[in-house]
Amino acid sequence: MENYNRLVARCNKIARLGQLAGLAGWDQQTYMPPGAAEARGEQLAVISELIHEMTVADETSQLISSAEAEIAGMDSDSDEVRSLRVVRRGHELATKIPGHLVAEASRHQSVAMPLWAQARAESDYSKFAPALEKSIELARQVAEHLGYKDHIYDALIDQYEIGATRADVAKMYADLTPHLVSLTAAIRDAKPNDDSVLMGNFPIDRQQSVTLDIVKSLGYDLNRGRQDIAAHPFCSGFSRDDVRITTRFNSEFLQQALYASLHEAGHAMYEQGIPASLNGLPISNAASLGIHESQSRLWENQVGRSRAFANWAFPTLQAAFPESLGNSNAEAYYKAVNVVRPSYIRVEADEVTYNLHVALRFELECALLSGELSVKDVPSAWNARMEKFLGITPPNDSLGVLQDVHWSIGLIGYFPTYSIGNIVSAQLWNAASREIPDLCRLVETGQFSPLLYWLNTNVHAHGCKFLPSEIVLKATGEPLNPAYYVNYLNTKYGELYGL
């Protein structure tokens, strides 16, 4: 196993460099002084190119071949065989993309992100359009180098959700969208619920401490994590022992920070939950973005927007904000955090309309990549779909096409993983409910560790040893099945809106 061990050690070195690049990315969005943007771009370009060089190097290639010979005949589910499969895939993907393109893309991201931030602040799409043009062009080049059978989109989504294709995703939305549209319409015709309890005066220092207390109760380990503020909340891990979340506070609206924290803590508990025994192995990463998102959404929604959670959390929130919540109660809070209302901003959308926001982005990305849509026409295409899916038109581009950071940092082919995550979250929740007696009662009494342990065992423990589809099958006993998500929404919102 000499070559296998040398390969694993080499991959671990590359992973450590990736962790440092991750730290630099975290810093870029939290504490970096604005004047450092260009220097940071250079730093990230250099380390990205180096990681790429080391990944595609002849030495790596030769070690992979020799290691494959060494493990020939081993159990196809062994750590060794699966580790090698992960390494070979990474090597092959990287080999297809020339180093100069990796560096150029990395440099472009560091330039494009501040341009996006400025454009969003000023609601001026023209300030971002040239950078988006280049992002699309770079994504096209990457896709052509990676290759695809059917549609250029296939090459990109496969990077984030191994094995997924444009056709799969189109079918997923074809199945999902009619249910979402009809549920949204039924709710629109029903008696509206009230979320005014979430508006008021919620001092930020108290929000900071109460969100931290709550995510700690869920099981987010602050000895191996921390929470900071970012314009666009995210979770970033640099090993299982350093997984950080960010949130953003609004002193007049309680839901924003709390549910961003729940969401990001869900991501973080996934990475913190990958077992130490996988440390240093190529299978110690998360399985895919879809599986990642299933964890964030499960804690944010199936847990955080449940009546059981409301019953548990409300007294804590009321004690923290007696001025604003003193006269309310858990049931009003539960209704408030589940108000369904077509809105402009994806990350603040309710569970019912959320996936319509994502479907919109998926359609635009496909059209941009194939050339059917030009960059200058994106705002009008965006607004037309908002009207079609949600019946509303953003009053400006900050609330429309400029709201997400993703395109500025080259994340194209990424959005559908959010919908995959939602579907998986419902399916996992269903399986956990079958296997953990009285799960809702446990949530209601703040006993989150049985659920976290179940996720640790059935999802986190695997790292990326198995494919996303294999993990879903092992954890739930069946392949990905959107029916659980549709059923979850219909039951919950049917009751909430008396449908």
Cα 290 to Cα 409: distance, rounded to the nearest angstrom: 19
Are 298 and 263 spatial neighbours (Cβ–Cβ below 8 Å)?
no
Number of residues that bind its own copies (CB under 8 A): 35
- Diameter over CA atoms, the chain: 70
Are 128 and 402 spatial neighbours (Cβ–Cβ below 8 Å)?
yes
Binding its own copies (rule: CB under 8 A), the pick from 223, 323, 437, 498 is: 223
Nearer to its own copies, 11 or 156 (CB): 11
Nearer to its own copies, 37 or 442 (CB): 37
Number of helices (H), then strands (E), in the chain: 21, 3
Nearer to its own copies, 12 or 316 (CB): 12
**Closest separation between CB of residue 16 and its own copies, Å?**
4
- What strand order describes the sheet that includes 235-237? 227-229, 243-247, 235-237
Report the site for its own copies in 28-67 (rule: CB under 8 A): 31-36, 38-40, 42-43, 46-47, 50
Cα 71 to Cα 85: distance, rounded to the nearest angstrom: 11
Residue 238 found at the interface with its own copies (CB under 8 A): yes
**Closest separation between CB of residue 96 and its own copies, Å?**
23
Stretch that binds its own copies, among 11-19, 324-332, 386-394, 473-481 (CB under 8 A): 11-19
* Neighbour-count burial of 316, counting CB atoms closer than 10 A to its CB (0-12 exposed, 13-18 middle, 19+ buried): middle
Q: Which amino acid is at 464?
A: C
Stretch that binds its own copies, among 22-30, 62-70, 126-134, 260-268 (CB under 8 A): 22-30
List the catalytic residue out of 104, 161, 252, 264. Answer: 264
* Burial letters 468-486, b for 16+ CB under 10 A, else e: bbebbeebbeeebbbebbb
Q: HSE, CB side, 13 Å, CA atoms: give it for residue 436.
A: 23
Binding its own copies (rule: CB under 8 A), the pick from 7, 8, 11, 21 is: 21
Nearer to its own copies, 24 or 199 (CB): 24
Tell me the two tokens of residue 324: 């604003």
Are 143 and 152 spatial neighbours (Cβ–Cβ below 8 Å)?
yes
Cα 24 to Cα 32: distance, rounded to the nearest angstrom: 9
Report the site for its own copies in 370-409 (rule: CB under 8 A): none
* Active site annotation includes 104: no
The site map against its own copies for 242-281 (x = CB under 8 A) is x-x-------------------------------------
Binding its own copies (rule: CB under 8 A), the pick from 3, 6, 16, 248 is: 16
Which positions lie near its own copies, rule CB under 8 A? 13, 16-17, 19-21, 23-24, 27, 31-36, 38-40, 42-43, 46-47, 50, 221-226, 228, 238-239, 241-242, 244
Residues annotated as catalytic (active site), given as ranges: 264
